[in-house]
């Protein structure tokens, strides 16, 4: 039975015991069984809830097995172990990342495998929990056309990352998404039916599987991006002044809100920057500004490369590098806040306008600030997670 095999593979994945062929099989089962995404995600979320710090987790787990055994369950008599799966993530593991989507792989950034423990017992216990969850879901799920209209609405799947964390997500169609710090994507249960639609807040790099029958559409702050199969970056943070999309491979079509009659086609190495505010201020006859529904400003240019190593600035974060070129200190500070999980303020607006260029890879916050003081005249003080820039 497909469901039985899926839950067995999930159990191995959560226990850190799944082999690469088993992970590939799990992904294929999810693509062919979209109705199982919701319970799959629920169990994954529960598994990655932070463990209590007041007692030994292994001891608590053993006591739980004893209680289950006293009620007729036996999880401790099997022997042997499955082949372990080495991790090879692009980002260092971060316990602050809670994978919220069934497509997140164990070698993805932010994945933290549970402590080894008795492998076979853990897998068996997980399979028991998975089966229980599946049984519960089976009875509460919408079961037919007689259900009210509300029950037929698409369930939204959401994947998010905290500040200071990054993650990689596998969508149901096989497309890959890298999420930068403080970002979120959502998509409906009907994803990959007529359209493949996602909503983005923050920054993400998309590597979209080609499927001409199902166009891929991204809804960001004030733009909509339509693709078939391509690789590109989108940055759309609520606090930023601009929304950007940078094309690496393929072709994308961008529709800008308040400019419905125009479509902007980007080619590889091109970049579209749109003012985040949909309204512009224009002077009246009396010289006072007023709000209008004017078309938002936009610029089409080329992506940037660091001269030292030809690193693509716009997508450097995917390689765990914070790269910036001729960027204002205020804009860089916004990115550093998300990158390091801190809050940065300036005592004078003049410091916010300093232009900076460089790349951080393994530097801590303190090391990054020290490096910036070499090229810019400023001082700083740090109080826990707050940084103040002053002169």
Give me the residue spans of the domains in the chain.
1-153, 154-304, 321-390
- Residue 44 has a pLDDT of 60
| Burial of 129 from C-beta contacts in 10 A (0-12 / 13-18 / 19+) | middle
- Residue 254 has a pLDDT of 95
Domain 321-390 is found in CATH 3.40.50.920 = no
Strand partners, 286: none
pTM: predicted TM-score of the whole model, two decimal places: 0.59
- Residue 162 has a pLDDT of 93
Q: Is the dihedral of CA 49, 53, 54, 58 positive or negative?
A: positive
Q: What angle do CA 238, 244, 248 make, to 5 degrees?
A: 140
Any idea how long the chain is? 391
- Which is nearest to 280 in space by CA: 332, 328, 241, 253? 241
Contact 207, 176 (CB under 8 A): yes
- Residue 303 has a pLDDT of 94
Contact 180, 202 (CB under 8 A): yes
pLDDT tens-place values along the chain, 391 residues long:
566 777 777 777 776 677 878 777 777 776 665 555 545 655 665 555 444 444 444 455 555 456 545 544 443 333 333 333 333 333 333 333 333 333 444 344 433 444 444 555 555 555 555 555 555 444 444 444 333 333 333 468 899 999 999 999 999 999 999 999 999 999 988 888 888 999 999 999 999 999 988 999 999 999 999 998 899 999 999 989 899 999 999 999 999 988 888 899 999 999 999 997 644 344 444 444 343 445 668 999 999 998 878 889 999 999 999 999 999 999 999 999 999 999 999 999 999 999 999 999 999 999 999 999 999 999 999 999 999 999 9
- Residue 285 has a pLDDT of 44
Q: Of 2.40.110.20, 2.60.120.1440, 3.40.50.2300, 3.90.550.10, which CATH number belongs to 154-304?
A: 2.60.120.1440
238's CB contacts (< 8 A; 6+ apart) are 201, 221
- Residue 153 has a pLDDT of 39
CA atoms within 13 A on the CB side of 21: 2
Measure the CA–CA gap between 342 and 242, rounded to whole angstroms. Answer: 22
Q: What angle do CA 216, 218, 223 make, to 5 degrees?
A: 135
């Amino acid at each position: 039975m497909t469901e039985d095999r899926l839950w067995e593979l999930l159990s191995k994945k959560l226990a850190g015991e799944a082999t690469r062929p088993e992970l590939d099989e799990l992904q294929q089962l999810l693509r062919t069984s979209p109705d199982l995404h919701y319970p799959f995600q629920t169990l994954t979320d529960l598994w990655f809830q932070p463990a209590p710090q007041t007692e030994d987790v292994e001891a608590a787990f053993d006591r739980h097995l004893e209680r289950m055994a006293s009620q007729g369950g036996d999880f401790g008599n099997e022997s042997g172990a499955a082949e372990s799966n080495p991790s090879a993530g692009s980002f260092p593991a971060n316990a602050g990342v809670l994978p919220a989507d069934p497509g997140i792989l164990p070698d993805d950034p932010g994945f933290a495998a549970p402590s080894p423990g008795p492998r076979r017992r853990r897998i068996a216990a997980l399979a028991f929990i998975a089966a229980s969850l599946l049984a519960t879901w089976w009875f509460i799920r919408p079961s037919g056309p007689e259900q009210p209209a509300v029950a037929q609405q698409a369930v939204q799947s959401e994947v998010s990352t905290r500040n200071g964390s990054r993650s990689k997500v596998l969508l149901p169609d096989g497309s890959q998404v890298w999420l930068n710090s403080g970002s979120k994507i959502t998509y409906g249960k009907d994803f990959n039916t007529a359209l493949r639609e996602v909503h983005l807040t923050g920054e993400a790099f998309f590597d979209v599987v080609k499927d001409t029958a199902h166009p891929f559409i991204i809804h960001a702050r004030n733009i909509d991006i339509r693709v078939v199969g391509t690789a590109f970056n989108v940055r759309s943070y609520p606090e930023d002044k601009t929304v950007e999309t940078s094309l690496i491979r393929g072709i994308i079509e961008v529709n800008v809100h308040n400019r419905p009659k125009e479509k902007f086609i980007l080619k590889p190495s091109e970049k579209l920057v749109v003012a985040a505010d949909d309204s512009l201020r224009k002077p009246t006859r009396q010289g006072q500004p007023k709000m209008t529904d004017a078309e938002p400003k936009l610029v089409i240019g080329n992506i940037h490369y660091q001269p030292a190593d030809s690193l693509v600035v716009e997508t450097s974060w995917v390689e765990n590098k914070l790269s910036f070129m001729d960027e204002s200190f205020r804009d860089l500070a916004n990115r550093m806040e998300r990158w390091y999980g801190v809050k940065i303020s300036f005592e004078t607006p003049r410091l916010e306008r300093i232009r900076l260029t460089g790349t951080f890879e393994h530097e801590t916050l303190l090391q990054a600030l020290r490096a910036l003081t070499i090229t810019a005249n400023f001082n700083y003080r740090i109080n826990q997670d707050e940084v103040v820039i002053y002169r």
